[in-house]
Amino acid sequence: MNVCFVTSECVPFAKTGGLADVSSSLPIVLSQKGHKIKLVMPLYDSISVLDYGFFKASELDRTEIVMGQESIPIDVWYGHLLGSSVEVYLIDCPRFYHRGRIYTDDNDEADRFILLQHAAFVIMQRYNFSPDIIHSNDWQTALMPAMLKYHYNWDRLFSTTRTVLSIHNLAYQGLTHPDFTFRAGLPRELADNGGLFEWSNSFSFLKTGILTADKLSTVSPTYAREIQTDSFGEGLDGLLRMRSDSLRGILNGIDTEIWNPSTDPFIPNHFDENDLSGKVACRLALSKELGLSLDANEPLMGIVSRFASQKGFDLLVVIFKDLMKYSNLRFAILGSGDAFYENYFEQMSKEYPGRVVLYKGFNEGLAHRIEAASDMFLMPSYYEPCGLNQMYSLRYGTIPIVHKTGGLADTVFDADEFPMLGTGFSFWNATPDVLKDTIFRALDWFESKKKWKTLQFRGMTQDFSWTKSADEYVDMYQSAVVTAI
């Protein structure tokens, strides 16, 4: 099939979270299965095109993108994704993408991603590429199904094109002023109060996508069910229930080459499920790197995360001092975001020198080294559409401790609840006390090296590759092609 995959972030070019990992690993596997993928994303100022051997698509120099009354010139850089046959088109528009960040709170945030979506259509037109599927991801690209129906429907190139919207996180909806409909080429009245594209007196990118895409997916079966309920639906659960026949939950896979403890170039020693001595060496090396005091019996808990309320760290804050008092836990924390958590963990690292370390910021290599070195990995998220770190942890023999929600519930099985299958520790009620009990349960297991090794082995031998999930995407694409709404 011909697929145009449009995204706001993608490894290795630009990343703030799991969307970037999925936008890279899924298209690569689809291309290996014989599908022809064109991937379109912005050329942010942080991306150095020459590092990737990209070149300027000179036939697209100064291509004018019409947005309402205005015409905005772009250039396009072209190359392949990580040596695969996925073709990547980076949209070069300094006015929009040279902001020092991927996402902003600027007044023209909506414009930045409307431009991306128009540019994707224009690239397909220029190359006469007739996609079977346009695959949008999250609010930033959720207008494409509507743009196809209302603005590009005259073009026969797209006469058989169908649309898929993957929801990676329902909480981010892209709410903006209704006037932005003009920029996207959509009817203004649909974003007025009571209109199909209106939500909370705003023009909602995500609602527009939910109502106009031929097929919808989200990134785990449990999250697909959760978002159809009042508690997780972010106000859109009614619409999602309405569209439930077209909505699937497809569990994310992971890139098993990038996240492979026996070859990972970011970690100092390699290991696998049969020989964990390299993991012990990684532990030592990380202690040195971060200044942790850590012996073989002192458990190391890793955290690598965006600090956002979704991630549930307020539960940890309530019990943190108790954990430090009643256990010999060490914490290696990597993250950034909400200043409250940055400051809190920084303060804890001062209060417990050698036991708690915080690296504030984004650091790809350190994320791998924390995964490799830690004994346990904490993800108490209130909701988690899929979550990738728990799968990376399992692969690296690092036992995840998670709230049973979304993809965490689908990938981690509690060791006490499932004695023969358990791979980690999980809890239903997201309260500080329950989290504390769960961590202490894990610490009890850690005391027995033999039991711990069994858990590690089970986790490390699970298959989280894309093979099965990519087939489910293909199945969804095929069902979109045969059944248009």
In sign, the C-alpha dihedral spanning 243, 189, 201, 186 is positive
Token match 């039991």: residue? Answer: 451
Is the bond preceding 12 in cis, omega lying within 30 degrees of 0? yes
- Interaction between residue 17 and ligand ADP (CB under 6 A): yes
- Interaction between residue 386 and ligand GLC (CB under 6 A): yes
Helix (H) or strand (E) holding 365: helix 364-373
Report the nearest approach of ligand ADP to the CB of residue 395 (Å).
12
Would you state the structure tokens that stand for residue 282, as one six-digit string? 């990684």
Q: Among 2-10, 108-116, 381-389, 451-459, which window interacts with ligand ADP (CB under 6 A)?
A: 381-389
- Interaction between residue 384 and ligand GLC (CB under 6 A): yes
Binds ligand GLC by CB under 6 A, chosen from 11, 18, 368, 393: 18
Q: Tell me how far apart the alpha carbons of residues 475 and 470 are, in angstroms, rounded to a whole number.
A: 9
Report the nearest approach of ligand GLC to the CB of residue 104 (Å).
18
- What mask, x for binding ligand GLC by CB under 6 A, covers residues 243 to 272? ---------x--------------------
- Interaction between residue 12 and ligand ADP (CB under 6 A): no
Q: Which of residues 392-421 bind ligand ADP (CB under 6 A)?
A: none
Contacts of 166 (CB under 8 A, 6+ apart): 135, 136, 137, 138, 216, 217, 218, 219
How many residues bind ligand ADP (CB under 6 A)? The answer is 18
- Interaction between residue 336 and ligand ADP (CB under 6 A): yes
Is-contact 380 430, C-beta < 8 A?
Answer: yes
Q: What's the burial of 79, exposed, middle or buried (CB within 10 Å: 0-12/13-18/19+)? A: middle
Q: Tell me how far apart the alpha carbons of residues 170 and 238 are, in angstroms, rounded to a whole number.
A: 13
Binds ligand ADP by CB under 6 A, chosen from 302, 387, 406, 424: 387
Token match 């077209």: residue? Answer: 246
Contacts of 159 (CB under 8 A, 6+ apart): none
Q: Which of 377, 383, 374 is nearest to 401 (CA)?
A: 377
Binds ligand ADP by CB under 6 A, chosen from 129, 362, 440, 457: 362
Q: Among 14-22, 86-94, 314-322, 370-378, which window interacts with ligand GLC (CB under 6 A)?
A: 14-22
- Interaction between residue 388 and ligand ADP (CB under 6 A): yes
Question: 16 vs 130, which CB is nearer to ligand ADP?
Answer: 16
Q: Which does 299 bind (CB under 5 to 8 A by kind): ligand ADP, ligand GLC, none?
A: none
Q: What's the burial of 90, exposed, middle or buried (CB within 10 Å: 0-12/13-18/19+)? A: buried
- Interaction between residue 335 and ligand ADP (CB under 6 A): yes
Interface with ligand GLC by CB under 6 A: which residues?
17-19, 22, 168-169, 219, 252, 384-388, 407
